[in-house]
Amino acid sequence: MGRIWPFHGGVHPPENKQQSNQPAIVTMRVPKQLVLPLNQHIGAPAKCLLEVGTKVLKGQLIASAQGFVSANIHAPSSGTITAIEERTLPHPSALVGPCIVIDTDGQEQWIDHAGIDPLSVDKGELLQCIRSAGITGMGGAGFPSAVKLQAKTQINMLIINAAECEPYITADDRLIREYSEQIIAGIQIIRQLLNQPACIIGIEDNKAEAIAILSQALTGIDGIEVAVIPTKYPSGGEKQLIQILTGQQVPHGGIPADLGLVCHNVGTAKAIADAVLLGQPLISRVTTVTGKAAAKAGNYQVLIGTQVSDLMAFAEVDLASTSRLVMGGPMMGFTLTDHQVSVVKSTNCILASSALELAPVADHHACIRCGQCEVVCPAELLPQQLFWFAKAEEFDKAQSHNLADCIECGACAWVCPSQIPLVQYYRFAKGRVKTLHAETQLAEHARLRFETREQRLIDDKLAKEEKRKARAVAAAAAQAAKRAANPDAEDPIAAALARVNQQKQAPATSVTAEPPEDAYKALKTAAAITRTKLKKSSKALSDALASGHDQVESLQTTVDQLTLKANAAQAALSAYETKLGLDPEHEKQLQVAAAKAGVVVRKLEKSLAIAEDAATIEAQIVTAKTAHATANQALEAYQHKSTALQQQTQES
Amino acid sequence: MALLNLSSPHHHSLNRTSRLMMWVLLATVPGLLAQSYWFGYGTLINLIWACALAVSFEALVLWLRKRPIKPFISDGSALVTAFLLALALPPFSPWWLTFVAVLFAIVFAKHLYGGLGNNPFNPAMVGYALCLIAFPVSMTQWAGTESTLNLAQQWQWFWTETMSGGIDGYTQATPLDLMRHPKGLTLDELAATNPLLGLGLTASAWINAAYLVGGLGLLALRIFTWHAPVAMLASLGLCSGLFHMGEPDLYPSASQHLFSGATMLAAFFIVTDPVTSATSRKGKLIFGASVGLLVFIIRSYGAYPDAFAFAILLMNLAAPLIDTYTQPKAYGHQGNKDNER
């Protein structure tokens, strides 16, 4: 037998195993209803494959693993799926979650299944067989076993955990006594998958009978040895067992495989043997029912999904005298307040204790830093300091005191003379650290986003500024080039500025300074503009009327106003013309006459170019030119007269 | 029956604070008896008086602080403080001296800082140090070993501080005090000229041995770990041994240091006070060793004959700092240097 190393701390709570380790394992009758949570393991929940109303056979796959770290779920007995709904889960906080409910038919009708010879198949097939059987760690954590069997590193040692250090629990003890051959077969399959590493079965020295049976069964088998370790809680903790058997510590943040080790529970080994050799998926397990309230304390082969209430009834648990119902052991288990929850793949114990057996702690006293918790802490922490930090919510200090390495074994709280619920403080602190970490990450993300945005805005601004500057330079260059080409040209900006200044200096005289023609023109323009506006508005109005638009009224008002304006403008223009003595009609006639004469001249000139009788045409041209000149003279005279008149009116 | 909903662990050891305190009180009994044998009834009268005062003050302050009185009184911590004060104060202490010491210990040093578990300083040592500074004469009236007062005389002195024929006939300087003022004599000459020294040394050796027995009992019961007392005694023994080897005429030997004054009382009943000392194993070693060193320095060069109150109060101040730098390596951190801060 190999050397046994010590580990720091540990406690010796009363074992209380004899109540349940005497009777042989009893197979519990098939309950009327099975409730199978879709998430019984560590990792992603399985996905239900069947619909309500489907008939299922014992061992039939009903929910499939989702992803690498997940596990299949099979029907533990034949029957009908009657519901897929949220039910209370076996969880410390009594969470609810999706469950498949099967009403059993009592037939126990198996689906077709057959085992394989592990030696005749390759590793992939063997692994697939274990994976599809939905096997998870049976010791309590429920980690999918196939994942651990697919180690990426070289495994030098397989550790089989049969320590069962928690008081009261005897499921592994009985399992070894009754199924040692299956367990060894399972171990051999695991060894085959891991390239035949040496195997040590770690078992506490309080299980003499199991040790004897196991040693007997191992005679003549090489590579597997039994290591009997001193009874001390929590020697069955994975990290502690590794230290006991190898003297090594799993590095912080690492896994046993980093040391070339893999650890499996003894129950898992048996489940693997059943899956490979018999083709039976994981649909039942051995669960201890014990405590003073249980009349038939012992171990039961229970179908997964059996309600705790059914199991308690079968084990004749007196509900009236049960004060604390614990799933798991007294050190790390959690209380159930509702017994309508399922036995799942990792349920190793139901502890129905009377009020005296696990008496509730009265009031806890102040911490006197006695340090007894430090003495017993298997993680070598300073529990008393962690307690003060958790209480004061100094989570950074708690973290620097390795809060994360606490395995929540409860040794500190068990020994505490002030009866402080230390583990609860650590769970609280861990939860807060997790939340704070998530919050910090969110805040960091938000900060990064904000800073990136700010930087982008600044960059955009700079780029714009650059572009603007480039444009300004280009424009200046163009201006300079233009000036160089035409040096006499007046600077347009300067000229504009000068005009503006002029206007500013003499705003009152600007109108009078306007030439008379301009005033006349302005009037004309104003009249024309108002006319155009009126036309537009009128058109809009008619359109609106046609389409029944709701703005007709306002348009009508606009048209009316514009009509008034146009009339006024026209009146102003006419008045101005009358005042000047001008007659637009006469001017137009003169213009027409002049134009006509011009046309005649041009026509004749054209004719001349092609005509032979030049003399005649020349004479005609002369006459026409004269007529044109006369018409022009008349027009000029008229225009001159009108200008003079305007000037007179202005002056007067 | 409604099912309880409680956090794990669901089982609990029978370990209780009151049990720890009771064992500490029991462990002082050999020392108490030895002290009474050599110095008379003074210590016993003091003890009863101090216990009554401590419980009364504790109850009073708990009431003022609106805390439940019974659970806190029953933890026994006030009695431990009372015992330690009664054992440390001179047997000729008058009633008011004990009154002041206990008042200051329980009300000021303990409850004004938040009660049991929250006090940075050892309450008994605070009370003791206060009296030592405020009433040096009363604090050095140590009973003589030759003739002890009878119960009636002791009782009279306790309440009235009057004594037919004066108290001087009954008091005597402690061996440590004598050795601190050798009046130009070597220690050997002092012992030869002053027979009281030898007798005093014998008495305090017996008393210290009695405390050692009690302390070893507590150690066997694992009420505390060995680290702090062993470190303290080792450091005091080492320092005094080295100096005695260098100048035997000036410095008392290691055994005289270890078995005189309050050495053993301090080592097993005061240095081990968990509330005010360092908390990790390494921290306790440093804490204990530093107390031993300070005791030697103060005994050899200080103005006071014994040094425990000051040495311990000084180290109480340093305890949080020691804790910060002596955090043990957790499981899985062995290869990780960052963890050691």
Q: Residue A57 and residue A75: Cα distance in Å, rounded?
A: 7
Mean pLDDT of B285-300: 93
User: Are B242 and B302 members of one domain?
Assistant: yes
Asked if B328's CB is within 8 angstroms of A371's CB, the reply is no
User: Are B28 and B149 members of one domain?
Assistant: yes
Asked if A8's CB is within 8 angstroms of B331's CB, the reply is yes
Q: What is the pLDDT of residue A509?
A: 46
Tell me how far CA of residue B31 lies from CA of B27, B90, B210, in angstroms.
Answer: 8, 14, 5
The answer to whether the beta carbons of residues A600 and A624 sit under 8 Å apart is yes
Q: What is the pLDDT of residue B186?
A: 73
Q: Residue A238 and residue B11: Cα distance in Å, rounded?
A: 22
The answer to whether the beta carbons of residues A26 and A57 sit under 8 Å apart is no
- Spell out where A414-480 has E strands: none
Phi first, then psi, for residue A42 (nearest 5°) are -75, 135
Asked if A384's CB is within 8 angstroms of B279's CB, the reply is yes
Domain stop point among B120, B143, B172? B172
Tell me how far CA of residue A406 lies from CA of A248, B137, B324, B331, in angstroms.
Answer: 18, 54, 19, 9
User: Are B120 and B191 members of one domain?
Assistant: no
Mean pLDDT of B44-54: 93
Phi first, then psi, for residue A316 (nearest 5°) are 55, 55
User: Are B187 and B226 members of one domain?
Assistant: yes
Q: What is the pLDDT of residue B117?
A: 86
**Interchain contact A424–B (C-beta under 8 A):** yes
For chain B, what is the mean pLDDT?
85
User: Are B221 and B109 members of one domain?
Assistant: no
- Which residue of chain B is at minimal alpha-carbon distance from A337? B3
The yes-or-no verdict on residue B339 having pLDDT over 60 is no
B9 occurs within a structural domain? no
The strand pairing partners of B171, in sequence order, are: B143
The strand pairing partners of A61, in sequence order, are: A74
Rg of chain A (C-alpha set): 52
Enumerate the H helices of A251-296 as residue ranges.
266-273
User: Are B199 and B160 members of one domain?
Assistant: no
Give the one of B8, B77, B275 whose C-beta lies nearest to A369's C-beta. Answer: B275
- Prior bond to A234 cis, omega within 30? yes
Q: Residue A105 and residue A103: Cα distance in Å, rounded?
A: 7
Q: Give, as one character, the DSSP assignment of residue A257.
A: G
User: Are B188 and B319 members of one domain?
Assistant: yes
User: Where in the sequence is the domain holding B249, given as residue range(s)?
Assistant: 182-326
Phi first, then psi, for residue A155 (nearest 5°) are -100, 120
**Interchain contact A13–B (C-beta under 8 A):** yes
Q: What is the pLDDT of residue B341?
A: 37
List, for residues B16-26, the tens digit of each pLDDT value.
888 889 999 99
- Which structure tokens are listed for A617? 């045409």
Instruction: Tell me the chain A residues in contact with residue B336 when contact means C-beta distances shorter than 8 Å.
Output: 251-252
**Interchain contact A2–B (C-beta under 8 A):** no
- Which structure tokens are listed for A75? 């029907």
Question: How close A215 comes to chain B (CA, Å)?
Answer: 32
- Angle, nearest 10°, between helix axes B77-88 and B95-103? 140
* Non-local CB neighbours of A567 within 8 Å, separated by 6+ positions: none
- Which residue of chain A is at minimal alpha-carbon distance from B333? A252
Map tokens 């007179």 to a residue: A648
Q: What is the pLDDT of residue A523?
A: 80
Mean pLDDT of B75-100: 90
Asked if B274's CB is within 8 angstroms of A370's CB, the reply is yes
Question: How close A39 comes to chain B (CA, Å)?
Answer: 22
Q: What is the pLDDT of residue A235?
A: 93
- Which structure tokens are listed for A287? 């669960």
B60 occurs within a structural domain? yes
B11 occurs within a structural domain? no
- Which residue of chain A is at minimal alpha-carbon distance from B73? A365
Terminal CA-CA length for chain B:
51
Residue A9 gets the label, from left (phi > 0), alpha (psi -120 to 50) or beta, of left
* Non-local CB neighbours of A311 within 8 Å, separated by 6+ positions: A28, A287, A289, A300, A302, A343, A350
Give the one of A333, A358, A417 whose C-beta lies nearest to B17's C-beta. Answer: A417
Which among A382, A387, A353 has a CA at the least distance from the CA of A367? A387
- Which residue of chain A is at minimal alpha-carbon distance from B72? A365
User: Are B292 and B217 members of one domain?
Assistant: yes
Domain stop point among B172, B193, B217? B172
User: Are B153 and B212 members of one domain?
Assistant: no
Under-50 pLDDT residues of chain A: 1, 508-514
Domains of chain A: 26-353 (3.40.50.11540), 363-482 (no CATH), 517-651 (no CATH)
Q: What is the pLDDT of residue A511?
A: 46
Q: What is the DSSP string of B44-95?
A: HHHHHHHHHHHHHHHHHHHHHTT--HHHHHTT-HHHHHHHHHHHHS-TT--H
The answer to whether the beta carbons of residues B101 and B127 sit under 8 Å apart is yes
* Non-local CB neighbours of A154 within 8 Å, separated by 6+ positions: A195, A260
B338 occurs within a structural domain? no
Give burial (CB, 10 Å; 0-12/13-18/19+) of A606: exposed
Domain stop point among B172, B198, B227? B172
Q: What is the pLDDT of residue B190?
A: 73
Phi first, then psi, for residue B317 (nearest 5°) are -60, -35
Give the one of B5, B77, B334 whose C-beta lies nearest to A335's C-beta. Answer: B5
- Spell out where A123-280 has E strands: 157-161, 198-204, 224-229, 261-265
Question: How close A421 comes to chain B (CA, Å)?
Answer: 8
Consecutive H or E run containing A497: helix A492-505
User: Are B127 and B197 members of one domain?
Assistant: no
Give the one of A239, A380, A382 whose C-beta lies nearest to B279's C-beta. Answer: A382
Q: Residue A385 and residue A374: Cα distance in Å, rounded?
A: 9
User: Are B168 and B264 members of one domain?
Assistant: no
Q: Residue A552 and residue A559: Cα distance in Å, rounded?
A: 10
Q: What is the pLDDT of residue B335?
A: 67
B193 occurs within a structural domain? yes
Question: How close B337 comes to chain A (CA, Å)?
Answer: 12
Consecutive H or E run containing A640: helix A614-651
| Half-sphere exposure of residue B139: CA atoms within 13 angstroms, side-chain side | 18
List, for residues A182-205, the tens digit of each pLDDT value.
999 999 999 999 989 999 999 999
Asked if B12's CB is within 8 angstroms of A413's CB, the reply is yes
The answer to whether the beta carbons of residues A62 and A75 sit under 8 Å apart is yes
Instruction: Compute the count of residue pairs across chains A and B with CB atoms less than 8 Å apart.
Output: 171
| Number of structural domains chain B divides into | 2
Which among A271, A113, A59 has a CA at the least distance from the CA of A185? A271
Residues 101-130 of B with CB under 8 A from A: 115-118
Q: Residue A74 and residue A95: Cα distance in Å, rounded?
A: 22
* Non-local CB neighbours of A602 within 8 Å, separated by 6+ positions: none
**Interchain contact A354–B (C-beta under 8 A):** no
Residues 49-108 of A with CB under 8 A from B: 92
User: Are B207 and B161 members of one domain?
Assistant: no
Map tokens 């052991």 to a residue: A329
Mean pLDDT of B277-306: 89
**Interchain contact B7–A (C-beta under 8 A):** yes
Asked if B222's CB is within 8 angstroms of A337's CB, the reply is no
